[in-house]
Amino acid sequence: MGVFEIVVEPKVRRRRRARMPLSPKKRAAALFRVWHGMRELIEEAERLGDSELVHFLEVARLLVEEKVTTMSSGVAAFDATDTSLPN
């Protein structure tokens, strides 16, 4: 049998120039993909029966939805809601 040798070279980090901000259309598309990815993760966590993970992912999904609502309407999603007390 031959001996396999794995050589790992250090990853050279390139300095990126300042990125241009995404256009509103591309930003909306990216958030849409994130939202759908969150839904898939939530379904998988539910299948695994991990209620804490489901809760965490649902909160993250709500934050993505809030960001989309804020971007599209210009008004923060929870501005009209009393968030001072827990449910």
Q: Is residue 7 part of a domain?
A: no
What is the pLDDT at residue 57? 95
3 lies in some domain: no
Domain-located, residue 22: no
Query: Tens-digit pLDDT profile for the chain (87 aa)?
Result: 567 777 777 777 776 677 788 888 888 888 889 989 999 999 999 999 999 999 999 999 999 988 888 877 766 555 666 666 665
Is 34 part of any domain? Answer: yes
Query: How far apart, in Å, are the Cα atoms of 12 and each of 7, 9, 15, 19, 54?
Result: 15, 9, 10, 19, 37
Domain-embedded: residue 19: no
Which structural domain, as residue segments, surrounds residue 51? 28-73
Number of domains in the chain: 1
53 lies in some domain: yes
